Amino acid sequence: MDYEILEHTADVCIRVYGKSLDKLFENSARAMMDLITDKEKIKPSQEIEIEVDGETIEELLVHWLQEILYLHEVSKMVFKDFRLSLIGKTHAKGNALGEKIDMDRHELLFDIKAVTYHNLKIEPVNDRLKVDIVFDV
Amino acid sequence: MNESINLVKIHDYLWEIPKKGGMRVPGRVYATESMLKDIQKDKALEQVVNVAHLPGIQKYSIAMPDIHWGYGFPIGGVAAMDVEEGVISPGGVGYDINCGVRLMSTNLIEEEVRPKLRELVSELFYRVPSGVGSSGKIKLSKNDYKDLIKKGAKWAVEQGWGEAQDLERIEDYGTFPGANYDTISQKAFERGSDELGTLGSGNHFLEVDIVDEIKDLQVADDFGLFKDQVCVMIHCGSRGFGHQICTDYIDRMLSYMRREEINLPDKQLACAHIKSKEGRDYLSAFAAAVNYAWANRQIIMSFARESFYRIFKIGPRDLGGHLVYDISHNIAKFEEHKVNGEMKKVCVHRKGATRAFPKGHPLVPEIYRNVGQPVFIPGDMGRASFVLVGTEAALDETFGTSCHGAGRMLSRNEAVRRGKNRDLFSELERRGIILIARGKRTVLEEMPEAYKYVEDVCDVVHNAQIAKKVARLRPIGVVKG
């Protein structure tokens, strides 16, 4: 299991796992997209390149998710999958595979206003990395 | 359960969290003993304690009875900062900058509206775009933006959405000073460019309400409210424009905090000194979002008026359609308050909390200066909402602040789980409420049982005298995202 939804009274919180930082970032994006819509119904017909910076690894993760959220909202797209490579701990390059939103096929479930830093900490658990992310919805 | 946080009873409706560790001031929570049991189930009180760590905080880190677990600040939190030494925290305002509620009264009574209620709610649903990712018909150019972010609701009125007298009934007359185009990112402009005049989703709504019970006849009359009257309540904010501004500035402030070596228990409390470049820039961008939200609610009210004209084939004079007031419940305001016996300028953060100034206060718009400021506390979509009025006690105790809603009790997922096999549309209809919504999931998340009963919350502020009940409203038509 790459992620689970945790209980949070007003907002939405997810717990994400990954074998490496790259995978943790990719799984976080997949989890966020699962909250937004049913990924099964997305055709990966377009590829968008994403490049982000951050002063810390946590900020880099938040920026990566914020960038996807921004593309979703402004370019009106939904994404099925993601690839990412970290370059050092302050820079990341990746891409998102998806298509334009088609209201007949894609039901939008959550309007995520923002990715928050609330209690956000990347930690090793056994042989994996773990992070809890709270979204403002 | 959060048993490590000690609570000392001040009176039946007020509890204090004594200063401990890095807290600069004590915490104060307005609630009954039984409410406290629920509040203690999640991390809301921990957040009250965290906020007490912020540089320049005055008197208390305050929580209203609708307090619940947020991120950074609790929802239902109030904190006033010294203007010279203190900080401004974007998280203390929230992502939805100037999210708020406005109430429009009409000349109509329930029996006049009932026969065409479904048509009316459908028309409102059609005219006011709502739902996840809703975009509207208004497209903002760069020049529109430049004007809008400086003028707020006044801009909307100039464009033909509403009347000049509407502006007399909005906090700060609907225009917040200090917006600066250059402090706002391109992303924020892009996110907001097609969202003006839209509700959004989540807990935002547009309701047709009936004045069900008058609690204070004189004040209700001064607000233009009477029993059985039809009103419209609108709850929304600054949409993606405000969300992006908050997002951008939390990042800038995290850098600032590293540079200035400010350490706080939660990164989401990111802040900068009010006097710093980062603080000033945030306040300029924030002002723009405040104005965006006011224009948004002004335009939506204008759409609501047009819906009534069309369905009931009446004109403005017959409808009435007067704005009662427009309140902001995610906001930071520079105000003078009494601290240690002396008047002092502070920056009051109200995150999920409503200003509640008494009569006579110079910041209450002239039209209500002899009455006091109206306060709106929306409840859930099946039960009730309240109109209250600000008090002297609020000014003394809470920097002139009251609560903002019923407060969530169930998480969104829990609400969806419990509501899975229910048909809320039919359930509400049997109780005389027409509900139209874009998303089924949103309806389950927002089901009445997901919230505390709003009257319990209003009883606390009424009994603690930080606002006084004026009227109870009940919904008959609900538009949800």
State percent of chain B over pLDDT 70: 99
Size of interface A-B (CB pairs under 8 A): 97
B310 to chain A, any CB pair closer than 8 A? The answer is: no
List all residues 6 or more positions away from B144 whose beta carbon is below 8 Å from its beta carbon: none
Task: Give the CB-side neighbour count of residue B381, counting CA atoms within 13 A.
Answer: 30
Contact A10 B240 (CB under 8 A): no
Residue B302 has pLDDT above 80, yes or no: yes
Provide the 3-class DSSP secondary structure of residue A49.
strand
Return the bridge partners of A85, or none: A93
End-to-end CA distance of chain B: 33
Chain A residue closest to B72 (CA)?
Answer: A118
* CATH number of the domain encompassing residue A29: 3.55.10.10
Confidence bin at B109 (pLDDT 50/70/90): very high
What torsion, rounded to 10 degrees, do the Cα atoms B283, B401, B350, B82 define? 50
Residue extent(s) of CATH 3.90.1860.10 domains in chain B: 100-332+372-480
CA pair distance B92, B202, nearest whole angstrom:
20
Quote the pLDDT of residue B419.
93
Quote the pLDDT of residue A10.
78
CA pair distance B411, A7, nearest whole angstrom:
6
Residue with tokens 């704005």, as numbered in its chain:
B323
Locate the DSSP E strands across B294-341.
Answer: 322-328, 330-339
Name the amino acid, one letter, at B65: P
A38 to chain B, any CB pair closer than 8 A? The answer is: no
A133 sits in which H/E element = strand A128-136
Residues A54-90: pLDDT tens digits? Answer: 999 999 999 999 999 999 999 999 999 999 999 998 9
**Secondary structure percentages of chain A, helix, strand, coil, to 5:** 25, 40, 35
Residues B413-451: pLDDT tens digits? Answer: 899 999 999 999 999 999 999 999 988 888 999 999 999
- Tell me the range of B1-10, B63-72, B247-256 where mean pLDDT is highest: B247-256
- From the list B247, B267, B413, the residue facing A5 with the nearest CB is B413
Confidence bin at B1 (pLDDT 50/70/90): very low
Contact A116 B246 (CB under 8 A): no
Q: Which two tokens stand for residue B3?
A: 């048993």
Residues B358-406: pLDDT tens digits? Answer: 999 999 999 999 999 999 999 999 999 999 999 999 999 999 999 999 9
Quote the pLDDT of residue A11.
84
Task: Give the CB-side neighbour count of residue B235, counting CA atoms within 13 A.
Answer: 24
Provide the 3-class DSSP secondary structure of residue B197.
coil
> In this structure, what are the phi and psi dihedrals at residue B82, rounded to the nearest 5 degrees?
-60, 135
Q: Which two tokens stand for residue B359?
A: 């009569």
CA pair distance A20, A7, nearest whole angstrom:
25
Distance from CA of B410 to the nearest CA of A (A): 6
Distance from CA of B71 to the nearest CA of A (A): 5
B209 sits in which H/E element = strand B205-214
A71 contacts in B (CB within 8 Å)?
none
Q: Which CATH number fits domain B100-332+372-480: 3.30.750.210, 3.90.1860.10, 3.40.50.300, 3.40.1010.10?
A: 3.90.1860.10
Residue with tokens 């976080």, as numbered in its chain:
A28
B190 contacts in A (CB within 8 Å)?
70, 74
B70 to chain A, any CB pair closer than 8 A? The answer is: yes
State percent of chain A over pLDDT 70: 100
Exposed / middle / buried, residue A23 (Cβ in 10 Å: 0-12, 13-18, 19+)? middle
Contact B132 A109 (CB under 8 A): yes
Nearest by Cα to A101 from B479, B127, B131? B131
Locate the DSSP E strands across B164-289.
Answer: 205-214, 229-236, 272-273
Q: What number is the average pLDDT over the span B155-162?
A: 98
Q: Are B146 and B155 in contact (CB under 8 A)?
A: no
Expressed as residue numbers, the domain containing A40 is: 3-136
Quote the pLDDT of residue B71.
87
Residue B325 has pLDDT above 60, yes or no: yes
- Tell me the range of B198-202, B286-290, B445-449 where mean pLDDT is highest: B286-290
State percent of chain B over pLDDT 90: 92
CA pair distance B128, B121, nearest whole angstrom:
10
Quote the pLDDT of residue B2.
47
List all residues 6 or more positions away from B373 whose beta carbon is below 8 Å from its beta carbon: B325, B355, B356, B357, B358, B361, B364, B365, B389, B390
Residues B347-357: pLDDT tens digits? Answer: 999 999 999 99
What torsion, rounded to 10 degrees, do the Cα atoms B460, B464, B465, B471 define? 10
In chain B, count H helices and then E strands: 16, 19
Distance from CA of B168 to the nearest CA of A (A): 31
Strand A77-87 with A91-100, pairing: antiparallel
- From the list A10, A12, A111, the residue facing B132 with the nearest CB is A111
A34 to chain B, any CB pair closer than 8 A? The answer is: no
> In this structure, what are the phi and psi dihedrals at residue B64, rounded to the nearest 5 degrees?
-85, 165
Nearest by Cα to A46 from A77, A74, A88? A77
Q: Are A25 and A91 in contact (CB under 8 A)?
A: no
Count of domains forming chain A: 1
Contact A9 B69 (CB under 8 A): yes
Quote the pLDDT of residue B134.
78
Q: Which two tokens stand for residue B238?
A: 């600054």
Q: For chain B, positions 315-344, list CB contacts with chain A under 8 A.
A: none
Nearest by Cα to B145 from B129, B135, B159? B159
B131 contacts in A (CB within 8 Å)?
108
Contact B187 A10 (CB under 8 A): no
Residues A27-54: pLDDT tens digits? Answer: 999 999 999 999 999 999 999 999 999 9
Quote the pLDDT of residue A111.
87
Contact A108 B414 (CB under 8 A): no
A113 contacts in B (CB within 8 Å)?
95-96, 240, 243
Q: In Å, what is the CA distance from B42 to each residue of B23, B67, B355?
A: 20, 11, 26
Residue with tokens 């402090």, as numbered in its chain:
B183
CA pair distance B334, B212, nearest whole angstrom:
36
Name the amino acid, one letter, at B420: K
Q: How many CB atoms lie within 10 A of CB B83?
A: 16
Confidence bin at B231 (pLDDT 50/70/90): very high
Q: At CA A111, angle to CA B433 and CA B239, rounded to 5?
A: 90
Contact A12 B243 (CB under 8 A): no
CA pair distance B478, B122, nearest whole angstrom:
10
CA pair distance B99, B354, nearest whole angstrom:
11
Give A9 or B323, the one with higher predicted confidence: B323
Residue with tokens 């028309």, as numbered in its chain:
B123
B204 is catalytic: no
| 3-class SS string, A102-137 | CCCCCCCCCCCCEECCCCCCCEEECCEEEEEEEEEC
B72 to chain A, any CB pair closer than 8 A? The answer is: yes
Chain B residue closest to A60 (CA)?
Answer: B251
B204, B243, B404, B462: the catalytic one is: B404
Q: Which two tokens stand for residue B212?
A: 């069900």
B450 contacts in A (CB within 8 Å)?
none
Q: Are B106 and B231 in contact (CB under 8 A)?
A: yes
Burial annotation B160-191 (CB, 10 A radius, 16+ → b, else e)? ebbeeebbebbbbbbbbebbeeebbeebbbbb
CA pair distance B299, B143, nearest whole angstrom:
18
Provide the 3-class DSSP secondary structure of residue B235.
strand
Name the amino acid, one letter, at B148: L
**With the C-alpha atoms ordered B328, B333, B335, B337, is the resulting torsion angle positive or negative?**
positive
Give B8 or A1, the one with higher predicted confidence: B8
> In this structure, what are the phi and psi dihedrals at residue B191, rounded to the nearest 5 degrees?
-65, -30
Contact B68 A10 (CB under 8 A): yes
**With the C-alpha atoms ordered B45, B58, B287, B91, is the resulting torsion angle positive or negative?**
negative
Name the amino acid, one letter, at B114: R
Give B1 or B21, the one with higher predicted confidence: B21
